[in-house]
Structure 1
Amino acid sequence: MSKRIDAVDLNVYYGDFLAVEGVNINIEPRSVTAFIGPSGCGKTTFLRTINRMHEVLPGARVTGKLLVDGDDIYAAGVDPVTVRTQIGMVFQRPNPFPTMSIRENVLAGMRLNNKRMSRSDADDLVEKSLRGANLWNEVKDRLDRPGSGLSGGQQQRLCIARTIAVSPDVILMDEPCSALDPISTLAVEDLILELKEQYTVVIVTHNMQQAARVSDKTAFFNIAGVGKPGKLIEYDLTTNIFNNPQEKSTEDYVSGRFG
């Protein structure tokens, strides 16, 4: 588990509209990388290209390359569903399946991939995944109750458990704490730091303090104006981005002068 990600001259289009232009980035395995920048600058769009999730919108396409351990996930014959199994996504708002129990939510990805397993193997996977998401001790006595009955922070960690149950190599998180209270946010941030011991983690966040707390490297995206493509402006160690940025626009953003 845990793989390197390389984007090479990556452009993202929706139909004829160029949404993100010319991204070149190298993301190391077993690290946390944060994408920051103002709304509409392409950071979430680029995040979604890393597991081809953007393709759910009609007309979406890319040019350039996106390599995972050297393999181009956009090469001819590559199955997007397989890519999304290897590269999991945790969304902005917790989205447990409302009609499923906590246990069924954890196993949902395995079921969708038609993976058959014995009851005991399934029980072991549920426990392992919930422990991995720091949720086991809170829910072990109510696994058959609906996942939607958990608190917001617990639901988000349940979604993370569901993601890691399928043994991905990379975990993408799109503003995973934006809908959570400060205590739940801290729990998820602590979990992110633990996850990087096994996975490559990439998060989009509007919270500058969060990026500073959890990420090893930070990528700053920006946009020149309405209708213009988003661009990667600067990518460096998080300490450098926040304390010694090379681009004035990066400094202006992280210091709160715009955005």
Structure 2
Amino acid sequence: MSNRIDITDLDIYYGKFHAVEKVTVNIEPKSVTAFIGPSGCGKSTLLRSINRMHEMTPGATVTGSLELDGQNLYASGIDPVEVRKQIGMVFQRANPFPTMTIRENVLAGVRLSNKRLSRSDADDLVERSLRGANLWNEVKDRLDLSGSGLSGGQQQRLCIARAIAVEPQVLLMDEPCSALDPISTLAIEDLISQLRENYTIVIVTHNMQQAARVSDRTAFFNLAGVGQPGRLIEVDETSTIFSSPKVQATEDYISGRFG
């Protein structure tokens, strides 16, 4: 499995509202791709469509093709729950389950899939996932305490541990640092750099500096006006997008002239 995502002519609708129009983009395996652009341009909608999370909104429909390693994730007979096991999601605000301990939070996704684990296997998975999220040393002596007692940055890393515990191929991150202080943001960015060795990562961010720091490739989205669908304007190596973009609108956005 290479963990490559290929999106071709993807249109996304919420009822009659056309949210995203004709997006074609290839997301390279084991790399970090950043989605940037002004609010309302469809970045998060597209991100959520990759693991069919957007379908939780009534009336959401998709046309076009979205493939993971050659398999169309929207083909008939494909179970969205199985898609979400392969493609994990980390949200804007850390959302550990407040009634669960740190240990239970890590295992939540595995338990939901009815996967039976022995106590020792569960312990190993908890440690491996927390180490993978650079959180083990901070919480190893309080695994039976509530996850909501952690700091904001620790909670976000706990959510990343929960996401990687189910052994996905892809990690989607929707502005994972927007609610965090600079030190916690740096910790998450360092973690993303490590996770790219094992996962294909797609991150939505409004922080231009963050996109420049963490991503290998950057995709810029825009829309013609309020109520218009979001479109992919340009995608390229991140260094190219930030130094010599080919489209004027990209240049205007990253230089702060609009958005």
Per the normalisation by structure 2, the TM-score is: 0.99
Unmatched segments (≥5 aa) in structure 1: none
Asked if structure 2 preserves the Cα contact closer than 8 Å seen for 1:35 and 1:221, the reply is: yes
Q: Equivalent residue for 1:36? A: 36
Q: Distance in 1 between matches of 2:192 and 2:92?
A: 15
Q: Equivalent residue for 1:78? A: 78
- The 5-angstrom pairing of residues 94-133 of structure 1 reads 94-133=94-133
Q: Equivalent residue for 1:136? A: 136
Unmatched segments (≥5 aa) in structure 2: none
SS at match of 1:197: coil
Offset at residue 17 of structure 1 (A): 1.2
Whether 2:164 is the aligned partner of 1:179: answer: no
Whether 2:199 is the aligned partner of 1:199: answer: yes
Asked if structure 1 preserves the Cα contact closer than 8 Å seen for 2:33 and 2:217, the reply is: yes
1:223-255 CA distances to partner (integer Å, 9 max, x unpaired)?
100110000000000000000000000000000
Asked if structure 1 preserves the Cα contact closer than 8 Å seen for 2:10 and 2:23, the reply is: yes
Partner AA of 2:72 in structure 1: D
Q: Equivalent residue for 1:145? A: 145
Asked if structure 2 preserves the Cα contact closer than 8 Å seen for 1:2 and 1:170, the reply is: no
Offset at residue 16 of structure 1 (A): 1.3
Q: Distance in 1 between matches of 2:85 and 2:191?
A: 21
1:4-55 CA distances to partner (integer Å, 9 max, x unpaired)?
0000100001111110000000001000000000000000000000000000
Offset at residue 2 of structure 1 (A): 5.4
Asked if structure 2 preserves the Cα contact closer than 8 Å seen for 1:2 and 1:198, the reply is: no
Q: Equivalent residue for 1:229? A: 229
Offset at residue 176 of structure 1 (A): 0.1
- What percent identity do the matched residue pairs reach? 77
Q: Distance in 2 between matches of 1:45 and 1:172?
A: 12
Partner AA of 2:160 in structure 1: I
Q: Equivalent residue for 2:87? A: 87
1:153-211 CA distances to partner (integer Å, 9 max, x unpaired)?
00000000000000000000000000000000000000000000000000000000000
Q: Distance in 1 between matches of 2:199 and 2:229?
A: 30
1:37-91 CA distances to partner (integer Å, 9 max, x unpaired)?
0000000000000000000011101000001001000000000000001000000
Asked if structure 2 preserves the Cα contact closer than 8 Å seen for 1:5 and 1:27, the reply is: yes
Q: Distance in 2 between matches of 1:100 and 1:89?
A: 19
Q: Distance in 2 between matches of 1:232 and 1:72?
A: 20
Q: Distance in 2 between matches of 1:215 and 1:226?
A: 28
Per the normalisation by structure 1, the TM-score is: 0.99
Asked if structure 1 preserves the Cα contact closer than 8 Å seen for 2:2 and 2:69, the reply is: no
Asked if structure 1 preserves the Cα contact closer than 8 Å seen for 2:103 and 2:144, the reply is: yes
Q: Distance in 1 between matches of 2:44 and 2:234?
A: 16
Whether 2:57 is the aligned partner of 1:57: answer: yes
1:122-175 CA distances to partner (integer Å, 9 max, x unpaired)?
000000000000000000000000000000000000000000000000000000
Alpha-carbon RMSD: 0.6
Asked if structure 2 preserves the Cα contact closer than 8 Å seen for 1:12 and 1:20, the reply is: yes
Partner AA of 1:153 in structure 2: G
CA gap of 1:11–1:164, structure 2 versus 1, over 3 A, is same
Q: Equivalent residue for 1:166? A: 166
Q: Distance in 1 between matches of 2:48 and 2:254?
A: 23
Q: Distance in 2 between matches of 1:187 and 1:227?
A: 37
1:98-121 CA distances to partner (integer Å, 9 max, x unpaired)?
000000000000111001010000
Partner AA of 2:103 in structure 1: R
Whether 2:242 is the aligned partner of 1:256: answer: no
Q: Distance in 1 between matches of 2:227 and 2:163?
A: 34
SS at match of 2:94: coil
Asked if structure 2 preserves the Cα contact closer than 8 Å seen for 1:2 and 1:199, the reply is: no
